[in-house]
Chains A and B, each alone.
Chain A
């Protein structure tokens, strides 16, 4: 059933050369992403992009939270999430099924990705970096990098604490 829900974009985002090992259960990546509450005169929820990097492989966008319901399709300001725009955003077609989402209000958000769904690839053992970048209209920008090693079996954890536009971000990858 999952296959029927894959869009062209999702297939492209999955990329090539990474195969789920035979018999392996689908990996899941659980994240918490905290968006701090800010005391400012004009507040808009930040645009947030979450993507996975591995040396020598194209970046994989797992999620992008933006103003996707607005009149212009919300894509006009996506380049302001500038590292993500360069790494992945500018070559994506949006909205992408399982990737695009609405902006989120301040608070700690739990997000899960399952290998083979949305933008989440099956992970071969190796070194990865999860990147979370937030950019806020009339506000600032912050990027957090969470390097982790996936050995195929053991749970991999990582965390990073934001200082301005992001709060605590935690990651846990397991089979």
Chain B
């Protein structure tokens, strides 16, 4: 009995730890009550969830507490963070002029090492912080790679600014040629994506308009980044769009280190942008 209970607990732990990567079947998103605001001292409230239909709350919350970066690069706390059965919600207090970032970034480490002639895989839940304690002292041939999933949205009070888009080099990041809070129906936007700080060709970019529940066709736009890591997206209608960037290929295969080869980190990026009527 005890054994079986432990097994269940372990299993539950696995499921939780795996959520950031296995929720691919369910789309993760954060939607802000407004993305473009005027005046000063505004509050914006945000829902955060993983769901099938965009943007309807039909599955699980994103329970991680997001980080807010102010237009001048300061990190502030979200207010009133509450995690419900199906969605999390929180408020962001905008006290500066310019563009804010709200982000949930999951960073994990995958990899292998050899111990006594046997190749072993790092357990799930390994991070840069706990990597040292998870590798036995007698391990050799340690090979690791980073898994980074980035879920970010942007909110602008006043005129848009670009300071928050300085790349950190971790995971897939957006460098906007067109500001994500300056999007209008019928116009196109150019976004550049960096993988570990470098413009990367061949990333898969999927944009899907919200409101899926009330139409038959998904209306997804599927693009690949060009040699400069750029894609151009033309917004057919005003509304919210889910924009997801992955490395392409078979996701399950990517998740595991190739047998005999070095492990390959898996990176993804997701945002929700608001396209205004022109």
Q: Is B159 a contact of A78 with CB atoms below 8 Å?
A: no
CB distance from B97 to the nearest CB of A (A): 9
Residue picked from B38, B42, B182, B277, most chain A C-beta under 10 Å: B38
Question: Restricting to B128-168, which residues have a CB under 8 Å from any CB of A?
Answer: 158-160
Q: List 5 A-B contacts (CB under 8 A).
A: A77-B38, A79-B37, A86-B182, A90-B38, A90-B158
Question: Restricting to A61-104, which residues have a CB under 8 Å from any CB of B?
Answer: 72-73, 75-79, 82-83, 85-86, 89-91
Question: Restricting to B162-177, which residues have a CB under 8 Å from any CB of A?
Answer: none
Q: Which 5 A-B pairs have the closest CB atoms?
A: A75-B39, A79-B38, A78-B38, A76-B39, A90-B159
Contact pick for A83, options B37, B38, B158, B278, CB 8 Å: B278
Which chain A positions have C-beta within 8 A of B182?
Answer: 86
Q: Is B38 a contact of A76 with CB atoms below 8 Å?
A: yes
By a beta-carbon cutoff of 8 Å, the part of chain A in contact with chain B is 72-73, 75-79, 82-83, 85-86, 89-91
By secondary structure, the A interface counts as helix
Q: What is the count of residue pairs linking A and B with beta-carbon distances less than 8 angstroms? A: 32
CB distance from A99 to the nearest CB of B (A): 15
| Binary flags per residue of B262-278, CB closer than 8 Å to A gives 1, else 0 | 00000000000000111
Confirm or deny: B40 has a beta carbon within 8 angstroms of a beta carbon on chain A. Answer: yes
**Whole-angstrom distance between the alpha carbons of A90 and B182 in the complex?**
11
Question: Restricting to B226-278, which residues have a CB under 8 Å from any CB of A?
Answer: 276-278
Which chain A positions have C-beta within 8 A of B38?
Answer: 75-79, 85, 89-90
By beta carbon, the residue of chain B nearest A89 is B38
Which chain B positions have C-beta within 8 A of A77?
Answer: 38-39
Which chain A positions have C-beta within 8 A of B36?
Answer: 79, 85
Which chain A positions have C-beta within 8 A of B277?
Answer: 82
By beta carbon, the residue of chain B nearest A73 is B39
By beta carbon, the residue of chain B nearest A66 is B38
Query: Given the known A-B contacts A90-B158, A90-B159, A91-B159, are A82 and B40 also in contact in the complex, defined by CB atoms under 8 Å?
Result: no
